[in-house]
């Protein structure tokens, strides 16, 4: 791959190949030997704990050289655009940029720069607005594969603030491609009927006992600026209507898993008492994130023949 900005273009075979590579790394597999240095910067224009840190760990494990960049203390604060910032990075010899930004599809101008541009660095998308979160999606697929060994025939329920979630956007599409059946639940005002082509919307109490995988989503308050439903939001009412409480947890299938991209709003999407419950796989998701991000970065290194890799 030349860039890794979306899961839209990946075939089922490519997804499975990345999962197998990540599983190889998780099992202690050797990393490829770089014969030339590769410089990578993590440019997070939106906050992050899991994604930022696990990309950093993945880069170090692969032997990449991290170039520190913090938008809050950079010339972005003087009005420099992201495009111009990346021109600087490229000019300084940075090979890859892992970027998170609040603008949907921010990467389009970077991977298809203007005709006379000098920008030619690899872009890895660490989350764009409410668009895509490909590395989260890929680590989620790895976690499902690790637990069930297959996707065909699995029932996956995506629950919560679906319209505003970039995790949901990436996952519904890739799950369909891998042969899983997708279902949705949550407030109807945070559901868009454009998603009907990916799966069926169901009341939560009908859905919980039927699913193999329950994917909970964080309520994205920061994206509700012009949303009249935000003013009506209350944690107690959301938890009662759309959250996984102890009673709903006790009704899930014995072998079902519950996933959440994090950070979790305790007693909103999920009862705080259940965060470390046996069927909740949040910690495994985070661990898998490092190995999957290694596999994704390696795919881009090979695609661009960086570090002497073919």
Where do contacts with ligand CP occur on this chain (CB under 6 A)?
48-52, 127, 136, 261-263
Q: Is 73 annotated as a binding residue?
A: no
> Which CB atom, from 22 or from 87, has the smaller least distance to ligand CP?
22
- Find the shortest distance in angstroms from Cβ 309 to ligand CP: 27
- Find the shortest distance in angstroms from Cβ 232 to ligand CP: 25
b/e for 248-262, b at 16 or more Cβ within 10 A? bbeebeeebbbbbbb
Q: ω before 244 within 30° of 0 (cis)?
A: no
Q: Is 51 annotated as a binding residue?
A: yes
Radius of gyration of the chain (CA): 20
Q: Please state whether beta strands 96-101 and 39-44 pair in parallel, antiparallel, or not at all (unpaired).
A: parallel
Place of tokens 């996933």: 259
> Which CB atom, from 171 or from 185, has the smaller least distance to ligand CP?
171
- Find the shortest distance in angstroms from Cβ 116 to ligand CP: 35
> Which CB atom, from 48 or from 176, has the smaller least distance to ligand CP?
48
Q: Is 166 annotated as a binding residue?
A: yes
> Which CB atom, from 140 or from 146, has the smaller least distance to ligand CP?
140
- Find the shortest distance in angstroms from Cβ 51 to ligand CP: 3
Q: Is 20 annotated as a binding residue?
A: no
> Which CB atom, from 63 or from 263, has the smaller least distance to ligand CP?
263
> Which CB atom, from 38 or from 215, has the smaller least distance to ligand CP?
215
3-state secondary structure of 88: helix
Burial of 275 (0-12, 13-18, 19+ CB in 10 A): middle
- Find the shortest distance in angstroms from Cβ 55 to ligand CP: 9
Q: Is 220 annotated as a binding residue?
A: no
3-state secondary structure of 256: coil
Residues with Cβ < 8 Å from 113, sequence gap 6 or more? 83, 119
Residues with Cβ < 8 Å from 292, sequence gap 6 or more? 18, 19, 22, 135, 138, 139, 142
Q: In the 8-state DSSP scheme, what is residue 197?
A: G
Q: Is 113 annotated as a binding residue?
A: no
- Find the shortest distance in angstroms from Cβ 261 to ligand CP: 4
Q: Is 145 annotated as a binding residue?
A: no
> Which CB atom, from 171 or from 181, has the smaller least distance to ligand CP?
171
Q: Is 81 annotated as a binding residue?
A: no
Q: Is 134 annotated as a binding residue?
A: no
3-state secondary structure of 292: helix
E strands, 106-265, in order = 122-128, 155-159, 181-185, 199-201, 213-216, 257-259
Assess contact for 167 and 133: CB atoms under 8 A.
yes
- Find the shortest distance in angstroms from Cβ 129 to ligand CP: 13
**Residues contributing to the annotated binding site:** 50-51, 78, 100, 133, 136, 166, 218, 262-263
**Residues contributing to the annotated binding site for L-aspartate:** 78, 166, 218
**Residues contributing to the annotated binding site for carbamoyl phosphate:** 50-51, 100, 133, 136, 262-263
């Amino acid at each position: 791959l030349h860039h890794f900005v979306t899961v839209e273009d990946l075939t089922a075979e490519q997804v499975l190949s990345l999962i197998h590579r990540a599983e190889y790394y998780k099992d202690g597999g050797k990393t490829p030997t770089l014969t030339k240095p590769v410089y990578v910067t993590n440019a997070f224009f939106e906050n992050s704990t899991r994604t930022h840190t696990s990309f950093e760990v993945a880069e170090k494990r692969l032997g990449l050289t991290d170039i520190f960049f913090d938008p809050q203390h950079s010339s972005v604060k003087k009005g420099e655009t992201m495009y111009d910032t990346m021109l600087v990075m490229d000019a300084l010899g940075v090979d890859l940029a892992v970027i998170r930004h609040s603008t949907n599809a921010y990467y389009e101008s970077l991977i298809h720069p203007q005709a006379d541009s000098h920008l030619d660095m690899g872009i890895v998308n660490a989350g764009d607005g409410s668009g895509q979160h490909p590395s989260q999606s890929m680590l989620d697929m790895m976690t499902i594969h690790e637990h069930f060994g297959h996707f065909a025939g699995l029932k996956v329920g995506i629950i919560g603030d679906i319209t505003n979630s970039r995790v949901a956007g990436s996952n519904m599409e890739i799950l369909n491609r891998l042969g899983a059946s997708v279902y949705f639940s949550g407030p109807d005002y945070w559901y868009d009927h454009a998603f009907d082509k990916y799966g069926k919307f169901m009341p939560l109490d009908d859905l919980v006992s039927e699913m193999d995988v329950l994917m909970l989503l964080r309520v994205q308050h920061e994206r509700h600026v012009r949303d009249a439903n935000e003013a009506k939001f209350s944690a107690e009412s959301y938890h009662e209507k759309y959250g996984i409480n102890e009673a709903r947890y006790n009704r899930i299938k014995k072998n079902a898993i519950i996933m959440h991209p994090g950070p979790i709003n305790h007693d909103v999407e999920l009862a705080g008492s259940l965060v470390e419950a046996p069927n909740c796989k949040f910690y495994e998701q985070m661990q898998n994130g490092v190995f999957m991000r290694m596999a994704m970065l390696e795919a881009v290194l090979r695609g661009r023949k960086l570090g002497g890799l073919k």
